[in-house]
C-alpha cells in the first residue's frame, strides 16, 4: 500500500519521533509510507489534492486535531493515532472537540498510547470506543521482566489514590510502600535504573543517591534535574513519554553506554555532592555560628 502519514514534524517533537518509527514499521512490512508535515497544509481540500495527485491508497494522522482535521471528508480511508495533547488539551476547546469528533467518526481506527488515553477519548466519543486500540508504549508486555515501581510517602492522599487507581490498569507498574532508607537503597541497587518524571522543581536527593549507588538515572528534562544530570554523560534526560521509552531502550541495549554513564555519574556525585563533602562543609560552617 501507498500510505500518507500526516504529523507535526517540526523540531524534535514526540510526534515526529513516533511518525518516523511508524514509517519504519510500515516500510518493514513492504508498504510505502510518505511522511508529510501537517503544518504545510491548511485545509482538507489541500490534502485531498495531494492524495489524488500522488495516488495514495490510505492515510494515517498523528494527532486527532492538528493532522486529523486535514483528513475530514477524505476520499481515501484513514486511521488516527492520538497525539496526546489532542485528548488532553484540545478536547477542552468546544470547536476543536467538535472537529475531532467528526474526524474520529470517519476514521477506520484510532490508536491510543495508553489505556488512560483511550478512556479519555472514549468518555468524550463513546461511539468510537470499539475502534480505539491501545498500543501501549510500556514494554512490560513485550518483556515481562520490565517493571516500574513507584515508591515514596503518600504526601497528598487524594493524588495517591488517583495514582493507585490508574496503576491498577497498567500491567507491570506497581505502587510500593514507603521503605526505610537502607531498604530503599537496597531496592534501588537491585533496579536497572531510577526514573524521575517530576514536573515540579527541586533538588533531587534520590537522583544523587542513585548515582552514588551505581544505578543509571532517567529524569525529566526540567531545570532542577538538568542541573545535576548532563544528558548522555551522567544520566539521561527526557521530555516526552516517547523519548523516555526510546532512551530506556537504548540504555538497555547498550551496556557500554550504561557503564560509562554510571562511572561518570559516580565521579560527579563524589566531586560535587558527596555526603562526606557535604558533611564537612556543614560541620565547618556551623563552627562559624558559634
Ligand atoms: C493541487 O496540487 C497541485 C500539484 O501539487 C498544485 O499545483 C495545485 O496548486 C494544488 N491545488 C490546490 C487547490 O491546492
Ligand atoms: C525528582 O526531581 C525533582 C526535580 O529535581 C525533585 O524536586 C524531586 O524531589 C525528585 N524526586 C525524586 C523521587 O527523585
Dump pLDDT digits (tens) for 225-276. Answer: 998 999 999 999 999 988 999 999 999 989 999 999 999 999 998 887 666 6
Among protein residues, the one with the nearest Cα to ligand 1's atom 12 is: 46
For the chain, give the mean pLDDT: 89
Higher-pLDDT residue of 287, 157 = 157
Q: Sorting pLDDT into bands at 50, 70 and 90, what band is 72?
A: very high
Among protein residues, the one with the nearest Cα to ligand 1's atom 2 is: 49
Contact criterion met (CB below 8 Å) for 197 and 215? no
> Would you call 127 exposed, middle or buried from its count of C-beta atoms within 10 A (0-12, 13-18, 19+)?
exposed
Q: Which of 198, 228, 229 to mutate to test the pocket of ligand 2 (most atoms within 8 A of CB)?
A: 198
State whether the beta carbon of 53 lies less than 6 angstroms from ligand 1. Answer: yes
Residue 279 has pLDDT above 90, yes or no: no
- Nearest bound ligand to CA 220? 2
Contact criterion met (CB below 8 Å) for 50 and 36? yes
Among protein residues, the one with the nearest Cα to ligand 2's atom 14 is: 206
Question: Which residues are CB-contacts of 96 (< 8 A; sequence separation ≥ 6)?
Answer: 65, 90
CA distance 6 to 50: 11
> What's the confidence (pLDDT) of residue 29?
82
- Nearest bound ligand to CA 44? 1
> What's the confidence (pLDDT) of residue 11?
60
Among protein residues, the one with the nearest Cα to ligand 1's atom 8 is: 49
> What's the confidence (pLDDT) of residue 21?
78
pLDDT digits (tens, 9 = 90+) for 107-127: 999 988 777 889 999 999 999
Contact criterion met (CB below 8 Å) for 215 and 188? yes
pLDDT digits (tens, 9 = 90+) for 161-219: 888 888 888 888 999 988 888 899 999 999 999 999 998 877 788 899 999 999 999 99
> What share of the chain in percent tops pLDDT 90?
59
> What's the confidence (pLDDT) of residue 12?
57
Among protein residues, the one with the nearest Cα to ligand 1's atom 7 is: 49
CA distance 120 to 13: 22
**Cell of residue 264, nine digits:** 561518570
259 CA → ligand 2 middle, Å: 23
- Nearest bound ligand to CA 49? 1
41 CA → ligand 1 middle, Å: 11
- Nearest bound ligand to CA 45? 1
Cα 188 from chain centroid (whole Å): 22
* Section 70-80 average pLDDT: 94
49 CA → ligand 1 middle, Å: 6
State whether the beta carbon of 221 lies less than 6 angstroms from ligand 2. Answer: no
Which ligand 2 atom is the nearest neighbour of the CA of 225?
5
- Nearest bound ligand to CA 54? 1
Among protein residues, the one with the nearest Cα to ligand 2's atom 9 is: 204
State whether the beta carbon of 42 lies less than 6 angstroms from ligand 1. Answer: no
State whether the beta carbon of 135 lies less than 6 angstroms from ligand 1. Answer: no
**Cell of residue 34, nine digits:** 510518505
Among protein residues, the one with the nearest Cα to ligand 1's atom 3 is: 49
Q: Which residue stretches of 54-189 are H helix? A: 85-88, 94-106, 115-124, 157-167, 181-189
Q: Sorting pLDDT into bands at 50, 70 and 90, what band is 103?
A: very high
> What's the confidence (pLDDT) of residue 120?
93
pTM: 0.54
Higher-pLDDT residue of 156, 280 = 156
Amino acid at each position: 500500500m501507498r500510505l500518507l502519514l500526516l504529523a507535526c514534524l517540526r523540531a524534535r517533537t514526540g510526534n515526529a519521533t513516533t511518525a518516523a518509527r511508524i514509517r519504519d514499521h510500515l516500510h518493514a512490512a513492504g508498504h510505502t509510507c510518505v511522511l508529510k508535515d501537517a503544518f504545510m497544509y491548511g485545509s482538507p481540500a489541500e490534502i485531498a489534492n495531494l492524495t489524488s495527485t500522488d495516488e495514495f491508497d490510505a492515510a494515517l494522522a498523528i494527532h486527532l486535531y492538528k493532522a486529523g482535521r486535514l483528513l475530514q471528508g477524505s476520499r481515501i480511508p484513514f486511521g488516527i493515532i492520538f497525539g496526546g495533547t489532542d485528548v488532553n488539551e484540545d478536547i477542552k476547546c468546544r470547536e476543536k472537540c467538535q472537529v475531532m469528533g467528526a474526524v474520529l467518526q470517519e476514521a477506520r481506527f484510532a490508536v491510543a498510547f495508553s489505556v488512560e488515553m483511550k478512556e479519555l477519548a472514549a468518555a468524550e466519543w463513546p461511539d468510537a470506543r470499539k475502534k480505539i486500540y491501545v498500543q501501549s508504549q510500556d514494554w512490560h508486555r513485550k518483556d515481562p521482566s520490565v517493571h516500574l515501581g513507584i515508591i515514596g510517602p503518600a504526601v497528598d492522599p487524594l493524588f495517591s489514590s488517583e495514582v493507585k487507581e490508574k496503576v491498577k490498569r497498567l500491567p507491570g507498574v506497581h505502587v510500593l510502600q514507603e521503605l526505610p532508607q537502607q531498604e530503599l537503597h537496597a531496592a534501588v541497587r537491585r533496579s536497572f535504573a531510577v526514573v524521575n518524571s517530576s514536573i515540579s522543581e527541586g533538588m533531587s536527593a534520590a537522583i544523587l543517591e542513585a548515582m552514588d549507588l551505581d544505578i543509571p538515572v532517567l529524569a525529566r528534562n526540567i531545570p532542577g534535574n538538568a542541573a545535576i544530570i548532563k544528558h548522555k554523560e551522567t544520566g539521561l534526560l527526557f521530555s516526552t513519554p516517547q523519548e523516555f521509552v526510546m532512551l530506556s531502550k537504548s540504555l538497555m541495549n547498550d551496556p557500554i553506554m550504561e557503564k560509562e554513564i554510571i562511572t561518570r555519574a559516580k565521579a560527579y556525585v563524589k566531586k560535587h555532592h558527596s555526603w562526606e563533602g557535604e558533611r564537612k562543609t556543614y560541620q565547618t560552617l556551623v563552627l562559624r555560628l558559634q
